[in-house]
Structure 1
Amino acid sequence: MKNLLYLLFILSTVCTSSCQYKKAEQAEAIDSTTMYVNHIFWGPEPWAIFKDGKYYYTQTVHDRITLWETDDITQLEKARKKDVWFPKDSLNAYHLWSPRIEWIDGKWYIYYCADDGNTDNHQIYVLENDSPTPLEGEFVMKGRVATDAGNNWAIHASSFEHRGKRYLIWSGWPSRRAYQETQCIYIAEMKNPWTLASERVLISRPDLEWECQWISIDGSKSGYPIHVNEAPCFFRSKNGDKLLIYYSASATWTPFYSLGLLEADADSDLLCPESWKKRSEPVFTQAPENEVYGPGNVSFVPSPNGEEWFMLYHVHHTLHDIFSNNHRCIHLQKIGWDAEGMPVLGVPQKEGTMLAKPAN
C-alpha cells in the first residue's frame, strides 16, 4: 500500500508539473487581461459558484477541503485560498471526493463525500458556515445525509431550489455491491440542507452502451464491471421552461467518460421518474482531434456581468496513464444556446486555444 501511495504521489506531481509548465509557456503568448487558454487549473472534480462579484471554487484535494476565491475564474492559480475543513471523525476522513459549495438561505454549505477507509462505505456529509464570505468564519459539520434506509453508497451531492422547494441530487447504488457496480442518479426533496423530506427517487440508471464503458482502450479496467451515472449538476434552459441535470457517464479511466443530460418540464412533478427524459446520446464527449479525452464533472458559472455562461469540466490530454485520476486538468469553456433556449455545449477545445475571458 505504501508503494502504491508513493507511486500515486509521483504521478500526481509529474502531471501537475507538466500542466504548470505548459501553462507558463502558453501565458507568454496572450493578453491575460482579455484572453485565456485552457487548462486553467489541474486536478479532478471542479465545482464553482458566483456570488457578489466573486467566484468560489473547490475540488477534490485528498485529505482536506480547500476553497479558492477570485474575481477572475481564469486565474485560479493566483486566487486567494484557504483550507476550510480537516475531517475530525474517522467515519468521514478518507477518500474525500467532490466538495461542492452552495449558498442556501443566507448560509454557506459544502456537500462532500467520504468514507471510513473502505470506499464501499462512501456517504454524503454537509458542512455549514454562517459567515457572509466562506473564507471567513468556520465550517462546522451538520451531519451525514441519510439518503436511504440501507445507507447505500452515495456521492456527488448538490442541491437546487425550484418553486419554493429544495431538492438534492446525487449518485448512488440501488443496493450494496455484490459483483457489478451500478451508479444511478437520485433525487429527493429536502427538509433542510442536511435532511431529506422524501424517499429517494431513481431518475437515471446506466442502461445505454455509452454509459457502461469500463474497459479502457489499452485494456485497463477495474476488478469488476462498473457502470456509471455520477456527478449530477442542475441547470436551467435559457427561458426557464426546462429543468436540466447534466451527469457524467462511463468510467473515469476511459476516454469514453462523457456528459449525459436529463430534462424535465418546469411544471412537472420532479419526484416522478417519468418526468425526467434522458438524451439517448452524450451531449459532450471526447474530441480526439483536439487531444481531449474523457470530459466530465461539469459545473456552470455566469460571467461577472451575468450575460454569458461558462462550463467547468475536467479532462485528460493524453491516453497515456488515463487510468490514473491524477492525470486530469480543468477546462473552462463558454456555452451557447439554441433557438429553443437549450444549452449548446459544443466540443472540448484543444489545450492552448486562445479564448475570450468572461465579460465584466
Structure 2
Amino acid sequence: MNKNTAYFIGIIFSIILLYSCNSKETQSSQKEIESEATFTNPLLPTGARPWATFYNGEYFYLQDADDRIILWRTNDITNIKNAPSKEIWIPKDKNSASHLWAPELHRIDGKWYIYFAADDGNTDNHQLYVIENEAEDPFEGEFIMKGRIKTDKEDNWAIHPSVFKHKEELYLIWSGWQTRRIETETQCIYIAKMENPWTLASERVLISKPEYEWERQWINPDGSKTGYPIYVNEDPQCYYTKDKNKILIYYAASGTWTPYYAVGLLAADSNSDLLDAKSWTKSEIPVFIQNIENQVFATGTPCFIPSPDGEETYFLYQARSIEKEPYGSLPASTMDTRSPRLQKMEWDEDGVPILGEALSEIEKIKKPSGTK
C-alpha cells in the first residue's frame, strides 16, 4: 500500500467515525425527545364539567355522572383514565337523585365538602346541595348530606356551585335564574357570603348576566336549536391575578350544545366589597374560545390546578371534537360528547392568566413539571 492510498483510507475512516458519532448523538437526542413525558387531549373519552383539586401530592378529580358522584385519585392528572375511582355518593332522596351536575370537592376547615346541583328528574327544579366528609382522605370515611343551600326566597333554579375563601370569609358563587322561565331562559352569575359551608349569610347578588352577543348564542350554525331561547352565564370559577390584587371569576357563556360555548371573565379589586355588583367588571370579549382549525369546539368550564412541584399552573376544561351536539336539542342530553382537556397556563404582564388557544387532539403536550 503506497502512502497516498493509506492517506485516503485514513480520511475515509475518519469520516465514517465522525458520521457514526454524530449519528449516535442524533439518535440519542431523538430518543431523549421521544422519551420526554407527554400527553394528548382529551384525558378521558367523555366527561362534562371536569374539576380537580391537588392535596397532599395527589389530584382528586370529579365530573358529571348524572345519578351519582364518582371520585378519582391520581398523582398524574394526565393519566386519569388509569386512576382508581370510587362511587362516594348515591342519593337516596328523590328530590336530589337526578342530574347531579358539576360536583366540586373543597377542603374547608379540616373537612371535605362536595358541592353539586341536582333535581327530582325535572331539570327545571335544579337546586344546590352539599355533602360533608370528616376524614383526612376523601376516599375514606363517609360523605353525609348537609342539606340544600337555599339561594333565595323564591327557590329559583340554581346550578354549578363553587366556593372560595377571601380575607377569612367564605363565599359561594353559582348560576341561577332571576325569575322562573316563561318563554326565555336566562342564566346569571350570583355571589353570596356564607355563614358556614352549607348556609348562606347574605342575600344573593347578581354580578353577571348574558349581555354580549358571544354570551347569547343558542342556535347552531345549521339552524338547529333549543325549543326556546336560552342565554347562558354558568359554571363560575374563582382565581386570582399573580399578585393577588384582583379576584377573577371565570365563567362559561352561550349554549354548551353549540360550538360557541366560551369562557368569560369577571374581575374585582381584592379590597373591594365583593357583594357590591359595582365592584365587578366584565371582559367585553371571551378569553377562551373554540378553535376551528384544531377541531376543538364548545370550550368552557376552566378549573385551575398546580403542577405536582408547584412550578406551573394548568387548567382543566371541557370541549367537543365535533361542531354541534348530535343527540338532541336539550342541554341535558349533551353529556356524552364533551370530554376533559388540560393545558398549561401562562401570565401576562399584569399577572392575569393567559389561557391561549385550544390545542388539537394530536398535539403532544409536555406533562406538568414534577409528574412522576
- Length-normalised TM-score, structure 2: 0.87
Question: Within 5 A, what are the aligned runs for 1:24-103?
Answer: 34-41=37-44, 42-103=46-107
2:18 corresponding residue in structure 1: none
Of 314, 330, 351, the match for 1:341? 351
Q: Distance in 2 between matches of 1:164 and 1:321?
A: 42
1:356 corresponding residue in structure 2: 366
Of 168, 176, 183, the match for 1:179? 183
Q: Deviations over 1:24-53 (max 9, x none)?
A: xxxxxx967621111111211100010110
Letter paired with 2:52: A
Q: Which ranges of structure 1 fall in alignment gaps of 5 or more residues?
A: 1-29
Distance 1:160 1:32, change over 3 A: farther
Of 297, 300, 314, the match for 2:301? 297
Q: Distance in 2 between matches of 1:333 and 1:278?
A: 24
Native 8 Å contact 1:253 1:325 kept in 2: no
Give secondary structure in 2 for the equivalent of 1:347.
Answer: coil
Distance 1:311 1:210, change over 3 A: same
Distance 1:223 1:268, change over 3 A: same
Q: Which ranges of structure 2 fall in alignment gaps of 5 or more residues?
A: 1-32, 329-333
Q: Distance in 1 between matches of 2:85 and 2:338?
A: 20
Q: Does residue 327 of structure 1 match 2:330? A: no
Native 8 Å contact 2:258 2:325 kept in 1: no
Q: After superposing the two structures, state which structure 1 stretch, 253-262 or 214-223, moved more.
A: 214-223
Letter paired with 1:81: S
2:4 corresponding residue in structure 1: none
Give secondary structure in 2 for the equivalent of 1:289.
Answer: coil
Native 8 Å contact 2:294 2:359 kept in 1: yes
Q: Distance in 2 between matches of 1:249 and 1:212?
A: 7
Native 8 Å contact 1:65 1:83 kept in 2: yes
1:10 corresponding residue in structure 2: none
Of all paired residues, the percent bearing the same amino acid is 54
Distance 1:320 1:283, change over 3 A: closer
Distance 1:31 1:66, change over 3 A: farther
Native 8 Å contact 2:312 2:369 kept in 1: yes
Question: Within 5 A, what are the aligned runs for 1:206-355?
Answer: 206-319=210-323, 321-322=325-326, 324-355=334-365
2:25 corresponding residue in structure 1: none
Give secondary structure in 1 for the equivalent of 2:207.
Answer: strand
Distance 1:85 1:79, change over 3 A: same
Native 8 Å contact 1:96 1:115 kept in 2: yes
Cα displacement (A) at 1:325? 3.1
Letter paired with 1:355: I
Native 8 Å contact 1:252 1:325 kept in 2: no
Cα displacement (A) at 1:321? 3.7
Letter paired with 2:349: A
Letter paired with 1:37: T
Q: Distance in 1 between matches of 2:363 and 2:99?
A: 34
Native 8 Å contact 2:257 2:324 kept in 1: no
Question: Within 5 A, what are the aligned runs for 1:129-140?
Answer: 129-140=133-144
Native 8 Å contact 1:58 1:99 kept in 2: yes
- Length-normalised TM-score, structure 1: 0.90
Superposed CA RMSD: 1.2
Letter paired with 1:205: K
Distance 1:45 1:94, change over 3 A: same
2:5 corresponding residue in structure 1: none
Native 8 Å contact 2:252 2:262 kept in 1: yes
Q: Deviations over 1:89-112 (max 9, x none)?
A: 000001111111111110000001
Q: Deviations over 1:171-197 (max 9, x none)?
A: 000011111000000000000010000
Native 8 Å contact 2:249 2:267 kept in 1: yes
Native 8 Å contact 1:39 1:352 kept in 2: no
Q: Distance in 1 between matches of 2:285 and 2:37?
A: 35
Cα displacement (A) at 1:198? 0.3
Cα displacement (A) at 1:219? 1.7
Q: Does residue 125 of structure 1 match 2:129? A: yes
Letter paired with 1:270: L
Q: Distance in 1 between matches of 2:141 and 2:49?
A: 25
Letter paired with 2:342: L
